[in-house]
Amino acid sequence: MSSHPRFAVDPWAVRETTLALEELGQTESVFALSNGHIGLRGNLDEGEPHARPGTYLNGFHELRPLPYAEAGYGYPESGQTVVNVTDGKILRLLVDDELFDVRYGQLRSHVRELDLRGGVLRREVDWVSPAGKAVRISSVRLVSFVHRGVAAVRYVVEPLGADARVVVQSELVANEPLPAPDGDPRAAAALSAPLEAESWGHGETSALLSHITRASGLRVTAGMDHVVSGPDGIGLAAETSGDLGRVTVAANLRTGQHLDIVKFLAYGWSAARSLPAVRAQVAAALTEARHTGWDGFVAGQADYLEEFWAGADVEVDGDPEIQQAVRFGLFHVLQAGARAEGRAIPGKGLTGPGYDGHAFWDTESFVLPVLTYTRPAAARDALRWRHSTLPAARGRAGELGLAGAAFPWRTIAGEECSGYWPAGTAAFHVAADIADAVERYRHATGDEEFERESGLELLVETARLWCSLGHYDHRGGFRIDGVTGPDEYSAVADNNVYTNLMAQRNLRAAAASAERHPDLSSGLGVDDREIARWREAAEAVVVPYDEALGVHSQAEDFTQHAEWDFDATFPSQYPLFRSFPYFELYRKQVVKQADLVLALHARGDAFTDEEKARNFAYYEARTLRDSSLSACTQAVVAAEVGHLELAYDYLGAAALMDLHDLQSNTRDGVHMASLAGGWIGLVAGFGGMRDHDGKLAFHPRLPRALTRLSFVLGVRGRRLRVEVGPEAATYSVEAGAALSITHHGEPIEVAADRPATRAIPPAPERPRPAQPPGREPPRRA
């Protein structure tokens, strides 16, 4: 098994026992805290040194122009970039007038721990100043799941061996200098001083700073307040200016005494509310924070997570590293969506500025499947955000000469922000991914109110898009030409299988939903003729198949393209998009990430078992995993067709993406879809879970190294537990009414008092397929 010295393996924590300054970028992302509304990177309390300071508010962005060498009709003109807002994490410490800095003096110990059950980041440091004064600093940081707009830090200083004079400067800092971009197109564009000061003020232990962005016109207020305890004679002072708020605490500490500071942070922002209103919101949040108190925040955080883990935990026996990784992934997925409430779930969550803070199709295709079965309210809120952006999506469709809604490839506020048309605008499958997430949520929850409020309209407008985008050929097939599927190395192709099959499901779902709610659908202008057109198009969708090879062509004529010369490609040239022109990639049989293979998972009901096995083997030899999205899908399909050890390898590549920094870019934020992929690889891969049209099915099988897999799913008011062993699986309902499922094709009804145990048939024996040279997943066993 692989090992990684950065973090100790622990089932419920991610712990760092030494401080490596050269890896601060990774640890700042891994130790980031968020609730979906506020995001704090895991910077050191004193602010420096850092790789990239970061405090983010979901949806808070600045506009920037998108330059083009040659402009064209329909090109997006404005980009949206997440803003590093006012940093309230900073607590600077002076010991006998010397500034605590881990780069100076002697760092005798330094431990940080992300507690996955407590929802806090702990830090304990023993430091000796250059003058020989020893102190112990303990801090605990949290972003509250219960109080949406509040974060808090408890900071404790005690002298070791001798008395000490200590001063703590607790700060709010706006417009922090950011490191320059490193040329990686996935990294965020740096913005220089995007915040203009509007108002500032302070009390004895508190401060408020208000700013507005120059171009987007968004207003933000950050506030802090403190509860200080320690020996008699503590000194307090406060000051504010446009970009700085500071509360200074001074104390003389004898050996055995300590200075204890609780810092409450509150944030509020709005595109519409006045400055007094936003300031009042933050002031009220700080008042409530003092009322709740530190112990109340810690208790509320633990209670929230206890409830979450009861309905979401995955237990793995046989691989402690995977056990830690899947819980770490679930924790970050929860952090990304728990309190987003009307905002997007970005590709990096709120852990870093990667991808400019944009949301992609990753949300609906990878993150929402996890939340739908573990935290459905968060999945509903994410889909409601998509619904709120329908006006922009309709406008974009009209600009492109299409009907319905054309959702953006990448966005923060709903407008298209991709300046590269072949991999942006042409990737229309995002519409079907949204529709698929709507249907999955409806089937899993039975939430008719959501369908009537948001789901129906999303299905209708996306179905209209497909009918205007596609056309019938002379053979009567419904074609969708000139689109880009999930594989961004094959752009602007005809009849991408994934896109067409997902559009087919979209069209069928829209027809069924419109018929379930005729009163609402008629209000959207839907009539029987339009429903009939949707169904006709769905039944006639073209699905390319290469008879000579016996496999589906990823898109029309893909299997006729020239092969990529892997033998002439050096390891330093991966990922290929950094070393070769896209034109060269587009005309070869080389796959960036699972595309046809993703269709085998998402639309497994459209393929036979033998077709899945042949397709998987064919595309394994051509798939590079140049994207973090690929490994979990390859794990799922590998497990389904019988390659259990290969699936295990891919599971590790997905689940350990950020803990092992496998793509060397975790510094820009964690890979939210890949972290969700750890759950997907276990539940859909080795648990074999599928939910096609509301029919819940399981085909479980374990690789040799895993001796037990247990997970829970929330399904239509029930809590279903699945326990998988090497030879048998047991299904039980822990809460709710009986539930009908299938096990390897056998129908079973499971009730609270009637768990069902069934034998697991052996996997089919097939030779392990080859991957492109040097692109094999790391072996786990």
Whether the predicted pLDDT of 191 surpasses 90:
no
pLDDT-based confidence at residue 5 (cuts at 50, 70, 90):
low
Higher pLDDT, 718 or 188: 718
Question: For 261, how many CA atoms within 13 A lie in the half-sphere containing its CB?
Answer: 35
Does residue 231 have a cis bond before it (omega within 30 degrees)?
no
Q: Rounded to whole angstroms, how far apart are CA atoms 263 and 88?
A: 9
Whether the predicted pLDDT of 547 surpasses 70:
yes
Active site residue ranges = 488
pLDDT value, residue 2: 36
Higher pLDDT, 526 or 64: 526
Give 244-281 pLDDT, tens digit per residue.
Answer: 999 999 999 999 999 999 999 999 999 999 999 999 99
Give 56-110 pLDDT, tens digit per residue.
Answer: 999 999 998 888 888 889 999 889 999 999 999 999 999 999 999 999 999 999 9
Average pLDDT over residues 727-737: 95
Q: Rounded to whole angstroms, how far apart are CA atoms 506 and 438?
A: 10
Quick check: 686 and 702 in contact, CB under 8 A? yes
Whether the predicted pLDDT of 187 surpasses 50:
no
Render the burial of 303-342: b for 16+ CB within 10 Å, e for the rest: ebbeebbebbebebebbebbbbbbbbbbbbbbbbbbbbbe
Q: Rounded to whole angstroms, how far apart are CA atoms 181 and 62?
A: 17
Give 111-123 pLDDT, tens digit per residue.
Answer: 999 999 999 999 9
Give 455-495 pLDDT, tens digit per residue.
Answer: 999 999 999 999 999 999 999 999 999 999 999 999 999 99
pLDDT-based confidence at residue 181 (cuts at 50, 70, 90):
low
pLDDT value, residue 616: 98
Average pLDDT over residues 758-769: 95
pLDDT value, residue 279: 98
Q: Rounded to whole angstroms, how far apart are CA atoms 647 and 649?
A: 5
Range in 9-13, 65-69, 228-232, 422-426 the model is least confident about: 65-69
pLDDT value, residue 403: 98
Give 617-662 pLDDT, tens digit per residue.
Answer: 999 999 999 999 999 999 999 999 999 999 999 999 999 999 999 9
pLDDT value, residue 3: 43
Average pLDDT over residues 341-346: 95
pLDDT value, residue 188: 45
pLDDT value, residue 184: 43
Average pLDDT over residues 379-398: 98
The encoded tokens of residue 104 equal 């100076």
Whether the predicted pLDDT of 186 surpasses 60:
no
Average pLDDT over residues 412-425: 93
pLDDT value, residue 51: 96
Consecutive H or E run containing 742: strand 739-743
Quick check: 222 and 85 in contact, CB under 8 A? yes
pLDDT value, residue 550: 98
Name the residue among 766, 695, 683, 764 with its Cα closest to residue 729.
683
Query: What single DSSP character describes residue 89?
Result: -
Higher pLDDT, 420 or 690: 690
pLDDT value, residue 190: 45
Quick check: 40 and 119 in contact, CB under 8 A? no
pLDDT value, residue 325: 98
Helix (H, G, I), strand (E, B) or coil at 480: coil
Question: Considering just the CA atoms, what is the radius of gyration of the chain in Å?
Answer: 27
Task: Please give the mean pLDDT across all residues of the chain.
Answer: 96
| Phi–psi pair at 463, nearest 5 degrees | -60, -40
| Tally: H helices and E strands in the chain | 19, 35
Whether the predicted pLDDT of 500 surpasses 80:
yes
Higher pLDDT, 192 or 422: 422
